[in-house]
């Protein structure tokens, strides 16, 4: 097991390098530069700006310079925010997005698995239809819709919770967490139900039942492990995807997280910031995909032996 | 099936879930408070301020959001009258202008101090302006100083010695400025943030004169001479400033502080306002305007803003190389419908480019709304009933308001002159690139005046002007604008502008649609917030009162 | 259209499995209702140009946004355009995007996941790391580049959506295949010397049918909504054409002033997705090879 993990970590380096390289050249190919504004600048000013940020050098040279700085852990200054470096910005936004993500994932897992189990244990009954209807509603309610609806109900009509903010007013974390978690909860519920149904037909469950084990034991000890496999493969990228996905929620609720930086950097063509967040994001993806693979092999004992 | 049995084991899950939820609740427990009422008590203004500012370095930043904060922290030679925007004494106590209007002598205010106690001197301005036109800093607004003698040459590296540039400190309290030619709006220019002073020792503590990337603008580092000082800055969350006791006119400042919120999303901003988190918003969502106008007109405020919303034609490409086609299209849209039914914010239909009453100038020429005339023009151009006209693309940048206007105009052209247009939206940076490379046929655009003078609108359309993406060129127009620039009497200048404007409405390289208004939601408790065409609101005059 | 490989197996095996499944699906009343509603939606979408009550683009600015009435059953939008008509035209775009883009992602995802999971070792490693890389690339920049290089068209929209949606599908399928590969019947199949291709199509894919169907029913809604984001970036459809995703996102902006602009498109989308979901569950049960044999 340890060897596999080590192997994966080693292979992460070329993966990251490919991501950096492709992103680096992609963003320079995209039309519009970081300093384009509606009022066109005199050419001599543009020239000086490009010089200041080394944009006047050949692209390949810029690329090697960037890699060189990167080996010292230097992501460079943000092109847009002149008094911050990329790493400063990432590390101010990250803890907030992380906290938001943790709440959302906890909500998603708790509600999702519970609803999925309920449904799977007596398929095609009310116990199935009701939670699954909720799940489908959750999937039909993207966060750009659910967020404003929740704000309207709880923030404005009933005036129970703050309409926006993060860590400024009491209770301001609740609505963003629920909004972000809801869609994932719906996915988890559907996948759990599907996965559980798959497992419940299998021989070892029949054997377990035949042995006279109580149904609860059968579910908890035997079925759940296999039944959660699709959920786990889904959660790996989903957790990493929270970073990009949290953008909408962060915008609706004025949460100062990393998601906003990530998306805005792309629109602003803030080259260094795009690269910084992308590197960070790919590291997260590699980590969580690895994590979900490990979890998979733990859940499925047959995989472990090989 | 042993349902009951099954339930005993899973029922732990919801318990777990409730536990988590209560944890979230608990982590943010406490008493609720309302910014609006608390703010009135403490004289703290809470305002929505568009997007997160790029920075607070007056020489580096370019946007309105940044200006809104910088103007609280720094003060230029002259300040603005909050109602009329007339130049009034700021860091300079008084000034004199030579007879040829080319030399200005400013007397610095005695006893004016930086927020660290240092005196504000004439040398500070010389240093700051030198910084603005240092080629290494690559300031976007460096050209604002190109009116100064030799400034452009210095910027381009044609002269090395800054002493040859037309600004010098005769002594600590006397600043002499020499211009290339008379600039009637020069004093107004001085209240633009790019000409604000910076504190030399602070700049040099955190970098060189030409360091764009510098930490001097962070809270704790920032030294300013404005009515407020920078207190906190949390990215994408809040920027707070508090009253500067060392400000020369601190006695009249009644606010104790201002909280600026970067509100990217106008819907969110409106909800923040409604729930009492903001005194003031930066904008209002279009569909909310009607609601506020009907239900609580005391909360919404609309006033003219020095800007024009327009479409431009690419006059280098068929069919818009023919002025008749351009004019026909300009004559066949119902601008009144657009402002009343689509934009809804009290905008004025624009039939010429310069907004009416720009420092006393109102364009006399106008593009008529005349569908029959438009049809005739199209027929003359060889496209009777719109036949033979290729399907043209109308380019706009992705924003709800632009989409709505484009959709309405698309239908108007189809119905009135049977011209079919395809809509194309692009994200902001791609859009700018398409404009710059003239890769469009019709493009949405807008222009906000830099200073209150018709020149800021009309000098755009001279041949090969930096912002003239239409490819349009007219010798007579060029010479009229050039003449106006060298004319001293306001009346004579405006005559030249009127003639230029007439050419513009006949040739129609651009299709003006409406004159902007500034619309915001504002609590009635906010006092001293006067409407003006630049939407400038010096905070020293603002206060909160029940 | 959804599961080409499965169909093939059915034919190979003779008619028993296939007709069996259909028989079982018919017995599932909910699934049949879902199927019926979906067919109805598709029919409406196909016939829209002939049966739509109004034009989707002709405006009546003086009318503006009006609530449902006898003339306009579902009301009108801010331009005074009939909402029912716009939903009908929107269904053409949304259903096409939903089914086609999902099909693209399904084919790539299933193929990629199966090959990766079944091959194992270095092939698996390489294929999954490619997935990681594609996950990590900044999506917005990717879309903008696509647009710049190829211009705008609907085909590109399907490709762009398919290109990102297959990634998660591939991961899920691979996870399933890994566990199926360890089963005894696969071992015995390998020992009897059946070709890999046959093992994959006859044994592996049929056994992953459950997650495939479930994830497909999850992908369709997200694809339909993703379309509105791509249209926002300029890649998707342009006004005055409409789609469900766009109608909903415009509806959100005005949900307090003109709630019908959100509610009706939202209801139509939800009904479609519910039907899809019921049909999916029915199909899953009906096609499950394990329940066939016993």
Q: Are C84 and C72 in contact (CB under 8 A)?
A: yes
Q: Are B28 and A174 in contact (CB under 8 A)?
A: yes
Q: Tokens representing B63?
A: 């946007």
Name the residue with higher pLDDT: A242 or B220: B220
Residue B8 scores a pLDDT above 50: no
What is the model's pLDDT at position B25? 52
Nearest CA in chain B to A109: B17
Q: Are C210 and C287 in contact (CB under 8 A)?
A: no
Residue B49 scores a pLDDT above 70: yes
Q: Tell which A residues from 12 to 51 touch C, by Cβ distance under 8 Å.
A: 15, 18-19, 22-23, 26-27, 29-31
Q: Are A295 and A226 in contact (CB under 8 A)?
A: no
What is the model's pLDDT at position B501? 94
Q: Are B434 and B450 in contact (CB under 8 A)?
A: no
Q: Which of C89, C290, C95, C98 is nearest to C208 (CA)?
A: C290
DSSP string computed for B441-492? SEEEEEEE-SSSSTHHHHGGGSTT-TT-TT----HHHHHHHHHHHH--SHHH
What is the spatial distance between Cα A63 and Cα A73, in angstroms, rounded to a whole number? 15
What is the model's pLDDT at position B29? 43
Q: Are B279 and B47 in contact (CB under 8 A)?
A: yes
Residue B14 scores a pLDDT above 60: no
- Closest CB to B400 among C144, C148, C253: C253
Q: Does A305 touch chain B (CB under 8 A)?
A: no
Cβ C233–B427 below 8 Å, yes or no? yes
Q: Tell me the average pLDDT across B439-444.
A: 94
**C233 to chain B, minimum CA–CA distance in Å?**
6
Assign 3-state DSSP to chain B and report helix, strand, coil percentages, each to 5.
40, 20, 40
Phi, psi of B520 (to 5 degrees): -145, 160
What is the model's pLDDT at position B13? 47
What is the model's pLDDT at position B7? 38
User: Which residues of chain C make contact with A263, given a CB cutoff of 8 A?
Assistant: 140
Q: What is the ipTM of this complex?
A: 0.87
Which residue in the block uniquely carries the two structure tokens 């632009």?
Answer: B402
Residue B34 scores a pLDDT above 50: yes
What is the model's pLDDT at position B174? 94
pLDDT band at B22 (very low <50, low <70, confident <90, very high): low
Cβ B429–A41 below 8 Å, yes or no? no
Instruction: Express each pLDDT in B516-534 by its tens digit.
Output: 999 999 999 999 999 888 8
Cβ B403–C61 below 8 Å, yes or no? no
What is the model's pLDDT at position A21? 94
Interface partners of chain A (CB pairs < 8 Å, 3 or more) are B, C
**Cis bond before residue B319 (omega within 30° of 0):** yes
Q: Tokens representing C123?
A: 């092939």
How many Cβ atoms from other residues are within 10 Å of residue B37's Cβ? 13
What is the model's pLDDT at position B24? 53
pLDDT band at C292 (very low <50, low <70, confident <90, very high): very low
The CA–CA distances, whole Å, from A94 to A77, A99, A288, B24, C156 equal 17, 8, 16, 19, 34
Q: Tokens representing C273?
A: 């997705």
Cβ A174–B24 below 8 Å, yes or no? yes
What is the spatial distance between Cα B217 and Cα B224, in angstroms, rounded to a whole number? 10
Residue C64 scores a pLDDT above 80: yes
Angle at B542 between CA B541 and CA B545, to 5 degrees: 130
What is the model's pLDDT at position B20? 56
Q: Does A187 touch chain C (CB under 8 A)?
A: yes
**Dihedral angle sign, alpha carbons of residues B40, B44, B46, B49:** positive
What is the spatial distance between Cα B400 and Cα B402, in angstroms, rounded to a whole number? 6
**B389 to chain C, minimum CA–CA distance in Å?**
20
**Cis bond before residue C240 (omega within 30° of 0):** yes
Cβ B275–A163 below 8 Å, yes or no? yes
What is the model's pLDDT at position C146? 82
**A32 to chain C, minimum CA–CA distance in Å?**
11
Q: Are A53 and A11 in contact (CB under 8 A)?
A: no
pLDDT-wise least confident of A54-63, A202-211, B84-93, B143-152: A202-211
What is the model's pLDDT at position C7? 43
Q: Does A192 touch chain C (CB under 8 A)?
A: no
What is the model's pLDDT at position B372? 92
pLDDT band at A275 (very low <50, low <70, confident <90, very high): very high
Best of B3, B4, B7, B9 to mutate (most A CBs within 10 Å, chain A): B9
pLDDT band at B139 (very low <50, low <70, confident <90, very high): confident
Residue B198 scores a pLDDT above 90: yes
Q: Which of C79, C222, C98 is nearest to C158 (CA)?
A: C98
Whole-angstrom Cα Rg for chain C: 22
Nearest CA in chain A to C175: A233
What is the model's pLDDT at position C3? 42
What is the model's pLDDT at position B2? 36
What is the spatial distance between Cα B518 and Cα B535, in angstroms, rounded to a whole number? 7
- What's the gap between Cα A100 and its chain centre? 11
The pLDDT mean for chain C works out to 82
Q: Tokens representing A238?
A: 């989903």
Q: Tell me the average pLDDT across C87-96.
A: 92
Phi, psi of B148 (to 5 degrees): -75, 150
Instruction: Express each pLDDT in A114-138 by its tens digit.
Output: 888 888 888 778 888 888 888 878 7
Length of chain A: 306
Residue B504 scores a pLDDT above 70: yes
**B401 to chain C, minimum CA–CA distance in Å?**
12
What is the model's pLDDT at position C240? 86
Q: Does A281 touch chain C (CB under 8 A)?
A: yes
Best of C57, C61, C151, C252 to mutate (most B CBs within 10 Å, chain B): C61
**Strand-pair category, B300-313 with B526-527:** unpaired
Q: Does A289 touch chain C (CB under 8 A)?
A: yes
Q: Tokens representing C228?
A: 């509105």
pLDDT band at A202 (very low <50, low <70, confident <90, very high): confident
Name the residue with higher pLDDT: B22 or B503: B503
Cβ A137–C270 below 8 Å, yes or no? yes
What is the model's pLDDT at position C2? 40
pLDDT band at B5 (very low <50, low <70, confident <90, very high): very low
pLDDT band at C12 (very low <50, low <70, confident <90, very high): very low
Q: What percent of chain B has pLDDT over 70?
A: 94
Residue A218 scores a pLDDT above 90: no
Q: Tell me the average pLDDT across B176-194.
A: 89
Q: Does A94 touch chain C (CB under 8 A)?
A: no
Residue A238 scores a pLDDT above 60: yes
User: What H or E segment, with its residue span, contains residue A265?
Assistant: helix A258-268
What is the spatial distance between Cα C272 and Cα B34, in angstroms, rounded to a whole number? 43
Q: Does A31 touch chain B (CB under 8 A)?
A: yes
Residue C175 scores a pLDDT above 90: no
User: What H or E segment, with its residue span, contains residue B366?
Assistant: none
Instruction: Express each pLDDT in C207-244 by its tens digit.
Output: 788 778 878 888 888 888 888 888 878 787 888 888 99
Angle at B192 between CA B188 and CA B198, to 5 degrees: 125
pTM for this one? 0.88
Q: Which of B440, B542, C174, C47 is nearest to A229 (CA)?
A: C174
Residue B295 scores a pLDDT above 50: yes
pLDDT band at C9 (very low <50, low <70, confident <90, very high): very low
Phi, psi of B101 (to 5 degrees): 60, 20
Instruction: Express each pLDDT in C135-151 by its tens digit.
Output: 888 888 888 888 877 77
pLDDT-wise least confident of B132-146, B348-362, C13-27, C259-273: C13-27
Q: Are B198 and B131 in contact (CB under 8 A)?
A: yes
Best of C98, C114, C141 to mutate (most A CBs within 10 Å, chain A): C141
Best of A83, A105, A262 to mutate (most B CBs within 10 Å, chain B): A83
Cβ B426–C234 below 8 Å, yes or no? yes
Cβ A302–C182 below 8 Å, yes or no? yes
C260-287 and C244-253 helices cross at what angle (nearest 10)?
Answer: 140
User: Which residues of chain B make contact with C258, given a CB cutoff of 8 A?
Assistant: 287
What is the spatial distance between Cα B60 and Cα C150, in angstroms, rounded to a whole number? 36
What is the model's pLDDT at position C17? 61
Q: Are B437 and B429 in contact (CB under 8 A)?
A: no
């Amino acid at each position: 097991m340890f060897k596999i993990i080590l192997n994966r970590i080693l292979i992460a380096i070329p993966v990251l390098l490919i991501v950096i390289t492709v992103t680096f050249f992609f963003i320079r190919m995209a039309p519009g530069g970081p300093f384009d504004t509606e009022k066109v600048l005199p050419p001599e000013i543009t020239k000086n700006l490009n010089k200041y940020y080394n944009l006047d050098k050949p692209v390949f040279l810029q690329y090697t310079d960037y890699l060189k700085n990167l080996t010292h852990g230097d992501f460079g200054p943000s092109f847009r925010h002149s008094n911050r470096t990329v790493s400063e910005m990432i590390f101010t936004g990250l803890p907030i997005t992380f906290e938001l993500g943790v709440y959302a994932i906890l909500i998603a897992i708790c509600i999702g698995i519970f609803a999925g189990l309920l449904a799977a244990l007596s398929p095609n009954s009310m116990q199935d239809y009701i939670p699954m209807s909720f799940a489908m509603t959750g999937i039909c309610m993207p966060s750009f819709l659910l967020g404003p609806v929740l704000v309207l109900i709880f923030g404005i009509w009933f005036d129970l919770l703050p309409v926006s903010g993060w860590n400024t007013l009491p209770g301001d974390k609740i609505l963003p967490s629920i909004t972000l978690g809801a869609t994932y909860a719906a996915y988890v519920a559907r996948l759990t139900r599907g996965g559980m149904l798959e497992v419940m037909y299998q021989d070892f469950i029949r054997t377990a039942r035949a042995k006279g084990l109580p149904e609860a034991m059968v579910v908890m000890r035997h079925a759940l492990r296999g039944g959660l496999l699709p959920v786990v493969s889904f959660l790996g990228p989903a957790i990493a995807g929270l970073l990009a996905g949290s953008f909408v929620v962060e915008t609706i609720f004025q949460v100062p997280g990393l998601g906003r930086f990530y998306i805005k950097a792309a629109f602003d063509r803030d080259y260094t910031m795009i690269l910084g967040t992308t590197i960070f994001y790919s590291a997260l993806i590699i980590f969580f995909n690895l994590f979900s693979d490990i979890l998979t092999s733990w859940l499925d004992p047959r995989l472990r032996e090989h | 099936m042993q349902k009951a049995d099954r339930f005993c084991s899973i029922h732990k899950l919801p318990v777990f879930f409730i536990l988590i939820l209560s944890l979230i609740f608990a982590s943010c427990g406490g008493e609720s408070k309302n910014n609006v009422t608390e703010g009135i008590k403490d004289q703290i203004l809470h305002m929505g301020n568009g997007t997160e500012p790029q920075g607070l370095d007056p020489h580096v930043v370019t946007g309105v959001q940044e200006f809104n904060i910088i103007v609280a922290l720094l003060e230029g030679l002259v300040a603005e009258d909050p109602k009329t925007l007339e130049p009034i004494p700021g860091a300079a106590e008084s000034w004199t202008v030579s007879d040829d209007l080319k030399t200005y002598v400013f007397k610095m205010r005695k006893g004016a101090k930086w927020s660290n106690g240092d005196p504000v001197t004439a040398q500070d301005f010389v240093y700051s302006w030198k910084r603005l036109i240092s080629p290494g800093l690559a300031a976007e607004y460096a050209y604002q100083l190109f009116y100064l003698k030799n400034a452009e040459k210095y910027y381009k590296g044609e002269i090395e010695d800054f002493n040859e540039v037309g600004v010098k400190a005769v002594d600590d309290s006397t600043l002499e400025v020499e211009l290339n030619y008379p600039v009637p709006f020069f004093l107004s220019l001085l209240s633009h943030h790019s000409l604000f002073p910076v504190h030399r020792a602070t700049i040099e503590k955190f970098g060189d004169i030409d360091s764009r990337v510098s930490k001097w603008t962070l809270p704790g580092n920032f030294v300013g001479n404005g009515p407020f000082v920078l207190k906190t800055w949390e990215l994408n969350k809040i920027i707070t400033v508090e009253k500067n006791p060392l400000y020369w006119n601190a006695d009249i400042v009644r606010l104790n502080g201002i909280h600026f919120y970067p509100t990217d999303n106008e819907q969110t901003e409106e909800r923040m306002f409604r729930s009492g988190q903001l005194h003031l918003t930066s904008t209002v969502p279009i569909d909310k305007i009607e609601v506020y106008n009907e239900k609580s007109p005391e909360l919404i405020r609309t006033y003219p803003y020095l800007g024009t919303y327009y479409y431009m034609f690419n006059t280098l490409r068929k069919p818009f190389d023919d002025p008749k086609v351009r004019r026909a299209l300009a004559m066949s849209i119902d601008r009144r419908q657009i402002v009343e039914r689509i934009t809804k914010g009290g905008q004025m239909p624009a039939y010429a480019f310069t907004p009416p009453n720009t420092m006393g100038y109102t364009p006399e020429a106008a593009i008529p709304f005349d569908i029959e005339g438009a049809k005739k023009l199209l027929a003359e151009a060889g496209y009777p009933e719109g036949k033979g006209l290729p399907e043209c693309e109308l380019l706009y940048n992705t924003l709800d308001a632009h989409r709505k206007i484009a959709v309405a105009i698309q239908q108007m052209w189809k119905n009135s002159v049977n011209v079919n247009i395809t809509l194309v939206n692009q994200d902001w940076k791609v859009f700018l690139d398409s404009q710059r490379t003239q890769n469009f046929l019709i493009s949405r655009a807008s222009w906000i005046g830099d200073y209150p003078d018709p020149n800021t609108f009309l000098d755009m359309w001279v041949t090969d002007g930096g912002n003239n993406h239409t490819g349009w060129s007219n010798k007579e127009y060029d010479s009229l604008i050039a003449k106006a620039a060298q004319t001293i009497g306001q009346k004579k200048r405006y005559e030249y502008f009127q003639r230029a404007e007439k050419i513009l409405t006949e040739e129609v390289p651009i299709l003006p649609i409406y004159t902007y208004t500034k619309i915001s939601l504002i609590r009635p408790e906010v006092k001293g917030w006067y409407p003006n065409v630049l939407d400038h609101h010096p905070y020293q005059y603002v206060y909160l009162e029940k | 259209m959804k599961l080409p490989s499965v169909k093939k197996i059915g034919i190979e095996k003779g008619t028993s499995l296939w007709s069996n499944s259909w028989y079982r699906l018919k017995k599932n009343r909910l699934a049949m209702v879902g199927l019926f509603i979906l067919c109805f939606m598709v029919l409406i979408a196909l016939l829209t140009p002939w049966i739509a009550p109004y034009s989707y683009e002709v405006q009546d600015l003086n009318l503006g946004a009006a609530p449902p009435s006898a003339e306009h059953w579902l009301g009108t939008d801010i331009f005074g355009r009939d909402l029912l008509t716009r939903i009908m035209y929107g269904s053409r775009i949304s259903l096409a995007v939903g089914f086609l883009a999902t099909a693209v992602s399904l084919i790539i995802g299933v193929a990629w996941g199966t090959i990766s999971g079944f091959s194992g070792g270095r092939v698996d490693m390489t294929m999954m790391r490619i997935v990681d890389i594609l996950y990590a690339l900044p999506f917005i920049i990717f879309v903008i580049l696509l647009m710049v290089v190829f211009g705008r068209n609907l085909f590109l929209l399907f490709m762009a959506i398919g290109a990102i949606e297959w990634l998660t599908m591939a991961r899920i399928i691979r996870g399933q295949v890994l566990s199926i590969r360890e089963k005894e019947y696969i071992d015995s199949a390998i020992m009897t010397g059946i070709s890999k291709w046959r093992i994959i199509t006859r044994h592996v894919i049929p056994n992953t049918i459950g997650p495939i169907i479930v994830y497909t029913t999850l992908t369709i809604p997200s694809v339909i909504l993703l379309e509105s984001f791509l249209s926002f970036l300029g890649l998707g459809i342009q006004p005055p054409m409409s789609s469900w995703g766009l109608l909903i996102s415009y509806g959100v902006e005005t949900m307090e002033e003109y709630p019908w602009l959100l509610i009706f498109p939202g209801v139509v989308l939800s009904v479609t997705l519910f039907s899809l979901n019921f049909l999916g569950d029915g199909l899953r049960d009906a096609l499950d090879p394990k329940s066939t044999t016993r």
